[in-house]
Amino acid sequence: MRMVCDRVLLREIYLSNDRGFFQVFAWRDLATTSSNPRHVCHTCVATAALHSFKISLIPLSLSLFSKIAGACKKMASGGQDFPPKTQERLPGKEHAMDPTPDAFSADYKPANKLRGKTALVTGGDSGIGRAVCLHFAAEGATVAFTYVKPDEQKDADETLRLINQHKADGAREPIAIATADVGYEENCHKVVKEAASHFGGAIDILVNNAAEQYYPCDVTEISDEQLESVFRTNVFSYFFMTKFAVNHMKEGGSIINTTSVTAYRGSKKLLDYTATKAAIVGFTRSLALQMVEKGIRVNAVAPGPGWTRLIPGSFSEVMVTEFGKAVPMRRAAQPTEIAPSYVFLACREDSSYITGQVIHPNGGEIVNG
């Protein structure tokens, strides 16, 4: 029997095991021409779009059920499985990642939300930082970002190329600011000074995003050096960058800090990293209260598992292959899925009444934060 399977349209699939055989409850097009629901193409069942007309009960064999379940899993995960590849040196290199993280989606529709604004992003050479730079530039902002030289030079050069490719008309040339370590006050002062000079004096948006992590980190094995390094990059830099940047910010400015879902649910394998991310939440809330009288909003973004260089740079091969599968969406996010949260918080017209808050693009984890 030949089935016109492209007429099958699904809204949602429910799998059950009833009376010893598998069934699927499927919304099906009234015009479906097949006279035998058993012959519904499993590819169509798993990929059909948002249409609903009528409910049918379809008895399935175990083999067909397995095919449908596998296809449904791919829908949830985007069909993305990460290969068991790691990098020997932290923080990792984005240009060496397989697959390469997606920093900007072709489906994103810029709307000049940040036209005429200036933005400074720490750790902007890769990962979420790169994606934020690209989205800000596409929305019309002039962007400056930091990177560590020489380790991150290649990624920084690529980020500059991509910013120039995506930036809106009217946005000025971006700059990449090399620094040895943003965990030290003097270096942060130099970064802000160079960025402000490039921008003509004003900084409208500050994104504190630089981060590092180590795995594993049993509490008995964390050295003084590692603890200080993680806190300097993940917490001290946020204080120092803010300390100097606010002198160049006016009413309507926005500070956005990158925290993590681990700050809310904890992580026994990322103890020191999680502690820094929790500190960022407290810093964000307190700074928001301090800055409100100046008309500067302070918020944070707490991503869930995101495919960035920190993952192959600090995780084992097994952890890389399983990365992201524990969240309800059963997949890791691409950086381009996280960046619009920063655009929202940076745009005064979109978020003028929001300060001291945290946005949670985390794949469905309920954190009540």
Q: Are 359 and 345 in contact (CB under 8 A)?
A: yes
The closest of 347, 348, 362, 357 to 138, measured between CA atoms, is 347
CA–CA distances in Å: residue 67 to residues 44, 45, 268, 301, 306: 11, 10, 36, 37, 28
**DSSP bridge pairs for 336:** none
Encoded tokens for 4: 């016109």
**Distance between CA 93 and CA 96 in Å, rounded?**
6
Q: For residue 214, indicate whether it is catalytic.
A: no
Q: Which amino acid is at 108?
A: Y
Active-site residue among 147, 238, 273, 342?
A: 273
Please report, for the chain, how many H helices and E strands are present, in that order: 13, 10
CA–CA distances in Å: residue 145 to residues 28, 137, 156, 275: 50, 12, 9, 25
Encoded tokens for 362: 């985390």
**DSSP bridge pairs for 33:** none
Q: How many CA atoms lie within 13 A of 174 on its CB side?
A: 33
The closest of 117, 166, 103, 144 to 346, measured between CA atoms, is 117
Residue 364: Cβ within 10 Å count: 11
**Distance between CA 228 and CA 225 in Å, rounded?**
5
Instruction: Give me the active site residues, please.
Output: 273
